[in-house]
Structure formats: structure tokens, C-alpha cells
């Protein structure tokens, strides 16, 4: 079959798709509002208040993250300098990470509220892992998402040949009819969104098979299924996704005690997480992906969203997650300071001063909101917090990286005071071999994710700490299990 496989080259094939990528890269509402130590609410906040701002030249940041720059993985040719993940991290977790981040930054405010409160200080949805980007306002408010004659179930779309349940619902121009249009950014994300819809419908069917009949109000069935879907999603985030990205010792340490992410009246999303540790997802991305048995494709073109799925573009999830013993997925790239060349190209459709790569945008936004240097964050975390005394086997101590660890940044003057995102990536490269985030990046990442679960009174961590996934003798549940139940494999 290898001889029949076709590789879609971005330079030759241009897909006519809606510009959902622009929605993905548009700045989050409220990100630039003052992140004061006195602010008690807002969509975004700071984890390390009081640290000095690292003032950076935007021109230098663009140069660091440009094509052929120090962050270029040079993986578009036959001799890639961007190695695969050393611990066999399946490629799908980079996309699951994007899906999760969309949940955390989902802005459900109407256009009028956004105009009244452009900095999102009042009209905002607290960050939480509740699949609001999938459920919207539920069947009473977002009626267009649900079946007319069975409002407990999601309305699903069909592929180009009319096969039902193979795509999200789309309008006549191909755009996905979903609460968060960013989940239609590319083919893999839109099919992942569909998987959660189908997983919900499977739970509705199961509940009814177990004795919940149509005589019961559809709303009650919907809420019971939604509760189960949310809990399974949160279980995956805590026990699979986080363990892969930060390691089980760090997850255990943060579950025991959070030391830096403090939640006040309303949980906000720290910019150190959003523009620092969470940026690890971009280094995991590959230049191309095997979509199914006969098709490879790149992110910007072959895998572009905003159009109906065709049978030849249907995602074979065995290429993205561990599904069974008879298949091996593609692996993510290792966690280091290299980003696939594909992501260092300016975004399609950008023009003039806005022609920036994803890496450049992340570095520039970090500077715009006044992030501290990675070294200052590491110093603060290391000093006086007893992290080394937690007694958890395998938990690495914090070691502040010196200028000798950043020889490639010396010419830019960033070897002693390094942007937080770059510092976190270098720490992972040097201290874990690129397997997981290091002690600084890993703790930021884990404390926010675990903290948001603790802050949500409806999460299984708060409301049902003894809850476990059903129908699994090992009491384990991961994305492979969810995809099987959803009938996606």
C-alpha cells in the first residue's frame, strides 16, 4: 500500500476552505487588559505577581522564530533535525491539547456583550473543563445543535457521499455549525469534536437501554449523559493527557498541593500558562500527518477545516492514538526548542505587517503582556517553597538554567534573560530529554489544569472524587477508549 499512498504537497495543492485559522490565531479577548495584583476577576491573570517584566525587542523575537532561525526544526526535507518523541507520545495528543485549550479560552459572550466589555472583565466564562465548546447552551438555548425529535442527542452531519454521522453539521458554505469555530480549524480537530458528540449520543443510547425510556424527559436524559461525558473527558485530561505531558510524579505532587496557582473569587487563566507552558503543544506538531491508509497531508492545506469530509479524507484514529495492539500511531515530535518548519511559515492569507508565524505570535504576545523571564520564574519557584522536600519518587528538583545552556541565543542577547516559553522548552530538552515538560514548565502546566478541576464544583474531582470510568476492568480510560465507544474506529 505504501506505493499507492499519496502525499499532498502544500506548495502544489491549495484547498478552498474557510479561514478558520484566523479565528485560531486571533488574540483572546481580555488578554491585553491590565493584569494587576489587585484585580479579583477577569479572563486572564498572573501566576507570579511582582516579578519584573522582560522587555524585548519585537524584531529580535521575529528573528529567533523565523524560517531558518534557531527555532526552525528543518523537518521539511529528507534529513530532519527535528526528532520524534523519545517516549512514543502518540501524535493525537497535540490536537487533544489544542482542543483542551479551546475549552479553557472559549468565549461564549454575545457580540453586544463583547462591545460593552471589550476587555472581558465582567462578561466572561471562567476557564473550566466542561466541554462548553461542544455543548454550547444545551438543547434549550442552542437548539440548532440537537435533534429536533430527540433533544437529548446531538444532531450530526454527513460526509460528501451522504453517510450519516461522519461529519459535524455544516452550513451551505462548509463552515461547521458548532459553538466554537476554532474546532473546525483543521480536519483532525473537527473530527475530534465529532467524536465527543458521538460519545454523548452513545451515552444517551446506553442510558435508555439500561431502563431510561422516552417517557422520561429528554432534558433529564441529556443531563445524565452530559455528566458522564464531562467526567470521562476530565478523567482523560487528568490521568492520561497530563501524565504524558508532565509525568506522573508531577501530577501526584500537584494533586497533593498546589503552590503557585492560587484561585481567588473566579478562576482565571494565567498568562504564564497560556503563553508559556501551554506553548509546548506547538513543538509536538509534525509537518505532515498520515490521515488514513492512502493519504498524508499538511496542516495548512490538506488538513484544512471549513469543508465537508469526503471518504478519502476520513481520519483513521489508529494513526493518532493507541487504539489496539495491531496498530502503531504516528508519534509527536519531542519537546524541545524546535518547531516544525510548516508552523514557521506565515499563516495562509496573512499580508503585510501581519505575516507572522505561530512561533513569532506566541513570543510577541508574551512580550506584549509583560511576561517575566524564564530564569526569574525558575528562581522564584526554587526559593523557599520546599519543592525538593516533597518526597515523591521521580520528581525532579528545579535547577535554574544558566547562560551556557543557551549558546544559540547569545547573539540575540537572550541567553541570560530568556523568554518564558523558550526557557520552558529548553528546560524540557535538557532535563527530560524531551519526554515531558521539566520541573518549571511542568508545574505551571499541571497546577493550572489541576487547579481548574478543583475550582469547578461540578467536576468529578470536586463532586465525586471516588468516581471511576465504567465498563473497564483496569479502571483506566483514555482517548482510545472514547473513540471506540463513539464508533470512530
**Along the 489 residues of the chain, how does pLDDT read in single tens digits?**
443 344 443 333 333 444 444 445 567 887 766 554 435 557 888 999 889 999 999 999 999 999 999 999 998 766 678 889 988 899 999 999 999 999 999 887 777 777 777 777 676 778 899 999 999 999 999 999 999 999 999 999 999 999 999 999 999 999 999 999 999 999 999 999 999 999 999 999 999 988 765 555 788 999 999 999 999 999 999 999 999 999 999 999 999 999 999 887 788 899 999 999 999 999 999 999 999 998 888 877 778 899 999 999 999 999 999 998 888 999 999 999 999 998 887 755 555 445 578 899 999 999 999 999 999 999 999 985 655 556 788 888 899 999 999 999 999 999 999 999 999 999 999 999 999 999 999 999 999 999 999 999 999 999 999 999 976 555 589 999 999 999 999
Closest CA to 154 of 171, 175, 136: 136
DSSP run (H or E) holding 102: helix 92-105
Rounded to two decimals, the pTM is: 0.91
CA distances from residue 313 to 25, 32, 286, 296, 317 in whole angstroms, order as listed: 24, 39, 18, 9, 12
CB contact at 8 A, 74 and 82: yes
DSSP run (H or E) holding 89: none
The cell for 136 is: 454550547
pLDDT for the residue 77: 64
pLDDT for the residue 1: 40
The cell for 313 is: 479524507
Closest CA to 488 of 178, 184, 196: 196
Burial of 41 (0-12, 13-18, 19+ CB in 10 A): middle
pLDDT for the residue 384: 59
- What distance in Å separates the CA atoms of residue 202 and residue 470, rounded to the nearest whole number? 14
Closest CA to 426 of 409, 445, 448, 447: 409
DSSP state, residue 52: P
The pairing of strands 295-298 and 6-7 is: parallel
CB contact at 8 A, 203 and 486: no
CB contact at 8 A, 82 and 338: yes
CB contact at 8 A, 434 and 84: no
Closest CA to 233 of 36, 452, 46: 452
pLDDT for the residue 78: 62
The pairing of strands 157-158 and 164-167 is: antiparallel
The CATH number of the structural domain formed by 2-485 is 1.10.640.10
pLDDT for the residue 355: 57
- What distance in Å separates the CA atoms of residue 483 and residue 329, rounded to the nearest whole number? 14
CA distances from residue 469 to 128, 252, 284 in whole angstroms, order as listed: 20, 20, 28
Spans of all domains in the chain: 2-485
Amino acid at each position: 500500500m505504501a506505493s499507492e499512498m499519496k502525499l499532498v504537497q502544500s506548495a502544489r495543492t491549495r484547498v478552498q476552505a474557510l479561514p478558520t485559522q484566523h479565528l485560531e490565531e486571533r488574540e483572546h479577548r481580555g488578554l491585553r487588559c491590565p493584569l494587576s495584583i489587585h484585580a479579583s476577576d477577569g479572563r486572564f491573570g498572573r501566576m507570579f505577581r511582582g516579578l519584573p517584566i522582560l522587555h524585548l525587542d519585537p524584531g529580535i523575537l521575529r528573528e529567533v522564530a523565523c524560517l531558518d532561525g534557531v527555532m526552525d526544526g528543518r523537518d521539511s526535507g529528507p534529513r530532519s533535525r527535528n526528532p520524534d518523541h523519545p517516549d512514543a507520545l502518540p501524535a493525537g495528543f497535540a490536537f487533544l491539547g489544542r482542543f483542551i485549550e479551546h475549552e479553557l479560552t472559549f468565549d461564549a459572550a454575545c457580540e453586544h456583550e463583547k462591545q460593552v466589555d471589550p476587555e472581558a472583565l465582567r462578561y466572561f466564562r471562567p476557564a473550566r473543563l466542561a466541554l462548553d465548546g461542544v455543548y454550547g447552551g444545551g438543547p434549550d438555548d442552542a437548539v440548532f445543535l440537537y435533534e429536533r425529535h430527540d433533544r437529548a442527542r446531538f444532531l450530526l452531519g454527513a460526509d460528501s457521499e451522504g453517510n450519516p454521522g461522519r461529519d459535524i453539521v455544516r452550513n451551505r458554505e462548509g463552515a461547521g455549525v458548532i459553538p466554537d469555530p476554532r474546532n473546525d480549524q483543521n480536519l483532525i480537530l473537527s473530527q475530534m469534536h465529532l467524536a465527543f458528540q458521538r460519545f454523548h449520543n452513545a451515552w444517551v443510547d446506553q442510558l435508555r437501554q439500561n431502563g431510561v425510556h422516552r417517557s422520561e424527559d429528554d432534558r433529564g436524559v441529556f443531563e445524565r449523559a452530559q455528566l458522564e461525558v464531562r467526567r470521562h473527558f476530565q478523567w482523560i485530561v487528568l490521568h492520561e493527557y497530563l501524565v504524558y505531558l508532565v509525568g506522573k510524579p508531577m501530577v501526584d505532587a500537584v494533586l497533593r498541593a498546589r503552590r503557585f496557582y492560587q484561585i481567588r473569587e473566579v478562576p482565571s487563566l494565567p498568562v504564564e500558562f497560556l503563553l508559556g507552558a501551554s506553548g509546548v503543544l506547538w513543538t509536538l506538531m509534525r509537518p505532515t500527518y498520515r490521515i488514513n491508509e492512502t493519504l498524508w497531508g499538511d496542516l495548512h492545506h490538506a488538513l484544512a477545516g471549513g469543508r465537508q469530509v469526503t471518504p478519502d479524507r476520513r481520519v483513521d484514529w489508529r494513526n493518532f492514538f493507541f487504539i489496539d495492539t495491531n496498530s502503531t500511531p504516528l508519534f509527536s515530535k519531542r519537546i524541545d526548542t524546535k518547531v516544525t518548519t510548516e508552523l514557521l511559515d506565515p499563516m495562509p492569507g496573512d499580508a503585510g505587517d501581519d505575516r507572522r508565524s505561530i512561533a513569532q505570535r506566541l513570543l510577541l504576545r508574551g512580550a506584549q503582556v509583560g511576561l517575566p523571564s524564564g530564569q526569574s520564574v525558575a528562581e522564584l519557584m526554587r526559593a523557599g517553597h520546599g519543592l525538593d522536600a516533597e518526597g515523591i519518587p521521580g520528581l525532579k528538583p528545579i535547577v535554574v538554567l544558566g547562560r551556557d545552556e543557551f549558546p544559540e541565543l547569545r547573539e540575540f542577547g537572550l541567553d541570560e534573560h530568556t523568554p518564558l516559553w523558550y526557557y520552558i522548552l529548553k528546560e524540557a530538552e535538557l532535563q527530560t530529554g524531551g519526554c515531558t515538560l521539566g520541573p518549571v514548565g511542568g508545574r505551571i502546566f499541571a497546577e493550572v489544569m489541576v487547579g481548574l478541576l478543583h475550582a469547578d464544583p461540578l467536576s468529578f474531582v470536586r463532586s465525586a472524587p471516588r468516581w471511576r470510568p465504567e465498563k473497564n476492568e483496569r479502571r483506566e480510560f483514555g482517548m482510545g477508549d472514547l473513540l471506540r465507544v463513539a464508533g470512530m474506529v
